[in-house]
Amino acid sequence: MEWENHTILVEFFLKGLSGHPRLELLFFVLIFIMYVVILLGNGTLILISILDPHLHTPMYFFLGNLSFLDICHTTTSISSTLVSFLSERKTISLSGCAVQMFLSLAMGTTECVLLGMMAFDHYVAICNPLRYPIFMSKDAYVSMAAGSWIIGAVNSAVQTVFVVQLPFCRNNIINHFTCEILAVMKLACADISGNEFILLVTTTLFLLTPLLLIIVSYTLIIVSIFKISSSEGRSKPSSTCSAHLTVVITFCGTIFLMYMKPRSQETLNSDDLDATDKLIFIFYRVMTPTMNPLIYSLRNKDVKEAVKHLLRRKNFNK
């Protein structure tokens, strides 16, 4: 093969904030605090969705899956980032990088599809309440959630396999906090236009399709809400939908900025990643999972009541 005489890389150096020790310490403290909030907030949502019988519905089943995804998605990337901030060794093996890419892509894709499923659930609940038990039976919503996980795993496996088959023989410096797929592809000493095209197609498919489902669902929901005469009848669906829409806009917005913004050829061939991209990455991986429990709990009376009930039970047992 053409690259046979080159040195084949077996590990990568994660640049992150190397050379800025004070910034590394600051980011470590901030990200660690937010990571603890992510574990506590999302863990609480998972706990109440399991323990409270009133929350044994499709909506809270999806919400529990979303919280579990947020914990897994953050742990797969942020935990290693935190360690690298305090460690002098900032290298990662090719196999470790592949695992990190696979988990990150799988969780991200699953979350996109799951948000689309949640929008459909809201549509059926509000626009077709009489048919809701039929459309959203236990078999149906469990299959929808499982399908989201399977789609995420398959898409991620395909992407990861295509990337690890590339020859890496130039430099081993990944100008990022983790093995982010675009940052890794730039290191390949081969034409990556095919990989970029596949990434664009899959990102479009698994981001725009759920987004289209969300837009259609909420257009029909808004029309249905305006038909409700009483303000009290409008309040509950409005608060539930606004929480979900806030999460969708935050999550999908950062995905668009990361993977679908125009990139000049100069940027693609540059060794320096724009600082904006790193900030977007931090927002996507840390801020969004931190905000999700707050968004759902502050705008949802059922969640508030379930948390209060859980705390009363805990105090009573003491």
Convert the pLDDT of each residue in 190-216 to its tens digit. 788 888 888 888 878 887 888 899 999
> Higher confidence at residue 273 or residue 149?
149
- Predicted pLDDT at 315: 59
Q: What CA–CA distance (Å, rounded) separates 303 from 51?
A: 12
User: Where do the structural domains in the chain lie, given as residue ranges?
Assistant: 10-223+238-257+275-288
For residues 166-182, give the mean pLDDT: 78
Name the residue among 134, 58, 113 with its Cα closest to residue 248. Answer: 113
Q: Among 24-28, 235-239, 251-255, which stretch is predicted with the lowest mean pLDDT?
A: 235-239
Convert the pLDDT of each residue in 44-101 to its tens digit. 889 888 888 888 889 889 989 999 998 998 888 788 788 777 777 778 888 888 888 8
Helix 231-259 and helix 275-282: axis angle, to 10°? 140
User: Cα angle at 272 between 266 and 273, to 5 degrees?
Assistant: 90
Is there a contact between 148 and 65 (Cβ–Cβ < 8 Å)? Answer: yes
Domain 10-223+238-257+275-288 part of CATH 1.20.1070.10:
yes
- Predicted pLDDT at 267: 45
pTM for the structure as a whole: 0.82
For residues 247-257, give the mean pLDDT: 74
Convert the pLDDT of each residue in 138-168 to its tens digit. 999 999 999 999 999 999 998 898 888 888 7
Could you tell me the pLDDT band of residue 270, with boundaries at 50, 70 and 90?
very low
The percent of residues above 70 in pLDDT, for the chain, comes to: 81
